[in-house]
Amino acid sequence: MSESIGIQNEHLAPLPKKPNSVSTQTDRSDKKMNHLAFRGSVQELTEKIITIIN
């Protein structure tokens, strides 16, 4: 996996120079997206994500 993705210094890595990249932490309005909202606990969300992935 690329070292240019994931967490770096407690923030998401800077956006790659790909046309379809988006981020909740960028200042670029054309690349910014809203945070994904969820209901329930982090544990419940984690279990749902694992179920979907598997």
Average pLDDT over residues 3-24: 82
pLDDT at 45: 92
Average pLDDT over residues 10-27: 87
d(CA 9, CA 15): 14
- CA angle centred on 48, ends 41 and 38, rounded to 5°: 45
pLDDT at 4: 67
d(CA 42, CA 54): 18
pTM of the model: 0.54
* Residue showing tokens 């993705």: 5
pLDDT at 28: 92
pLDDT band at 31 (very low <50, low <70, confident <90, very high): very high
Which residue ranges make up each domain of the chain? 1-54
Q: Contact at 8 Å (CB) between 43 and 50? A: no
**Mean pLDDT across the chain:** 87
